[in-house]
A and B are shown apart, each in its own frame.
Chain A
């Protein structure tokens, strides 16, 4: 496998975006802030078309949301004049926040998905400069019954299979929906996921799923971190089963999967919805290598005491070998591991609340590293 020339780590916070770079994923240099005083709840690093495009969902409390992109690793930023994401006339809706920017598969360069608030999914075919509203989801008869999680009503997870026909999304609090026709039509797929906070704890939809991610190479297998509950499906979400046994808590926001190795996933447990801190104030990442049958606690390099939570997109993996694992806390600390979570080091501290992180291998000039193995799988973060 080729060695990356450098790595970039993008850190979106409540008050701006920071970019970190490293030649070896051990020593990091930090630059920023970009978009100071605007929150950055979503980032993508797209290396599919011979360069590196960083896309950032940016939201000013005063001036509203927008999407910027940079093709020179943050030296300059561009914003489509008419806005990359705009609700069409007749929808009587306005964009509130871009929660997810998700580059599609390597085989579909230029295709980028977005999950937004109000609950909606969007698709771009020009690298993220202009997105089109997914009408199948927007016009879904269930939409009026989807609720809003504490952070807002948004589609926050988008998982597209290699064919492009099968798409899973998740929203809080609407649950998991699946399309088998590339996003034209959608059906709820939540059987087995509990919604204990509803009169019927096993509804067809309405679950508060915090994050979903696809297994690296087992077709039909996905993982979900729920609002109380960690689950796996092996049949494209027809049925979900609990894999929370062995974790110190079944609450949390993060669900990460390995870029290549089947059965490997990471979560970052929080005690409960009533006490959103790491159990006993001890921060740890938990990793499974057997699809959730067992979990290994990983805390080397992490602080003895940490009372800040980690949000759903404030964690990611890179595609290098071994895979890097990154996460940031609401207390503004960012940790990085170059060995799949065995050991962590603090990359940054005292930043504003970390909302999202994304990492990728790039060349110094910003060109993608020409290595098929490195880019075979787009992390689902």
Chain B
């Protein structure tokens, strides 16, 4: 079975047992929401950093699929294929 990788920024890695990459097994395309559910299932504190209680991606959390931010695609319903990567980055914002 192939897999989908999720690349974490360094600031979140302590919440994933120190890992920089989490992987979700996949033999077909799945949604970004599905990937996040899988890889954060064992890391609830990490999950809360990315999405709030309603499941919405936090305002200054950006998730990229093949270099495209998912808000410009279909959001959490954006499909990801086996072998692809999700890249998580925080916005350059604030002061």
Contact of A83 among B48, B50, B56 (CB under 8 A): B48
Indicate if the CB atoms of A87 and B45 lie closer than 8 Å.
no
Q: Which residues of A contact B90 (CB under 8 A)?
A: 62-63
Query: A61's contact among B48, B56, B93, by CB below 8 Å, is which?
Result: B93
Judging by beta carbons under 8 Å apart, are A94 and B52 in contact?
A: yes
Beyond A61-B93, A62-B58, A64-B58, is A86–B53 a contact (Cβ under 8 Å)? yes
What separation, in Å, do the CA atoms of A354 and B50 have in the docked complex? 27
- In the complex, whether B83 has a CB less than 8 A from a CB of chain A is no
Binary interface encoding of chain B residues 33-68 relative to chain A, with 1 for a CB under 8 A from any of its CBs, else 0: 000000000001100111011101010110000000
Which residues A293-340 have CB closer than 8 A to chain B?
Answer: none
The CA-CA distance from A81 to B47 in the complex, in Å, is 10
Cβ contacts A82-106/B at 8 Å (1 or 0 each): 1100110100111100000000000
Task: Report B42 CB to chain A, min CB distance, Å.
Answer: 10
Whether B52 lies near A64 (C-beta < 8 A) is yes
Closest B residue to A80 by CB, please name it: B45
Cα A79 to Cα B11 in complex, Å, equals 16
Do B60 and A95 have beta carbons less than 8 Å apart?
Answer: no
In the assembly, what is the distance between CA of A87 and CA of B44, in Å?
A: 15
Residue numbers in A under 8 Å from B58 (CB-CB): 62-64
Contact with A along B62-95 (1 / 0, CB 8 A): 0000000000000000000000000000110110
Please tell me if the beta carbons of A94 and B54 are within 8 angstroms of each other in the complex. yes
Instruction: Please classify the interface of chain A as helix (H, G, I), strand (E, B), loop, or mixed, using the class held by over half of its residues.
Output: loop
Per the bound structure, the CA–CA distance linking A66 and B93 in Å amounts to 20
In contact, A94 and B53 (Cβ under 8 angstroms) = yes
Q: Which residue on B lies nearest to A96, using beta carbons?
A: B52
- Contact, CB under 8 Å: B44 / A82: yes
Nearest CB of B to A118, in Å: 11
Complex CA gap A87/B46 in Å reads: 17
Answer whether A95 and B61 are a contact pair too, CB < 8 Å, given A62-B91, A83-B48: no
Is the pair B52, A95 in contact by a Cβ cutoff of 8 Å?
Answer: yes
Q: Which residues of B contact A62 (CB under 8 A)?
A: 49, 58, 60-61, 90-91, 93-94
Q: How far is the CB of B31 from the nearest CB of chain A, in Å?
A: 20
Asked if B53 and A79 make an inter-chain contact with CB atoms under 8 angstroms apart, the answer reads no
Given A61-B94, A62-B60, A62-B91, CB of A81 within 8 Å of CB of B52 = no
Kindly provide the distance from the CB of B8 to the nearest chain A CB, expressed in whole angstroms.
Answer: 12
Q: A81-B44, A82-B44 are in contact. Are A64 and B49 (CB under 8 A)?
A: yes
The chain A residue with its CB closest to the CB of B93 is: A61
B45 touching A79, Cβ below 8 Å: yes
Are A63 and B53 interface neighbours, CB within 8 A? Answer: no
B60 touches A87 (CB 8 A): no
A4 smallest CB distance to B (angstroms): 35
Contact: B45 with A81, CB < 8 Å? yes
Measured CB to CB, the nearest residue on chain B to A86 is B53
Q: How far is the CB of B53 from chain A (nearest CB, A)?
A: 5
Cβ contacts under 8 Å, A86 to chain B: 53
Distance (whole angstroms) from the CB of A114 to the closest CB of chain B: 15
Complex-state Cα separation, A60 to B60, whole angstroms: 10
Nearest neighbor of B62 in chain A, beta-carbon distance: A62
The 23 listed contacts between A and B (C-beta, < 8 Å) are A60-B49, A61-B60, A61-B93, A61-B94, A62-B58, A62-B61, A62-B90, A62-B91, A62-B93, A63-B12, A63-B58, A63-B61, A64-B48, A64-B49, A64-B58, A66-B45, A66-B48, A81-B44, A86-B53, A87-B53, A92-B54, A93-B53, A94-B53
The 5 closest A-B pairs by CB, nearest first: A94-B52, A63-B49, A62-B90, A62-B60, A81-B44
**Residues of chain B whose beta carbon lies under 8 Å from any beta carbon of chain A:** 11-12, 44-45, 48-50, 52-54, 56, 58, 60-61, 90-91, 93-94
11 extra interface residue pairs, beta carbon distance < 8 Å, beyond A64-B58, A95-B53? A61-B94, A62-B60, A62-B61, A62-B94, A63-B11, A63-B58, A66-B48, A81-B45, A83-B48, A92-B54, A94-B54
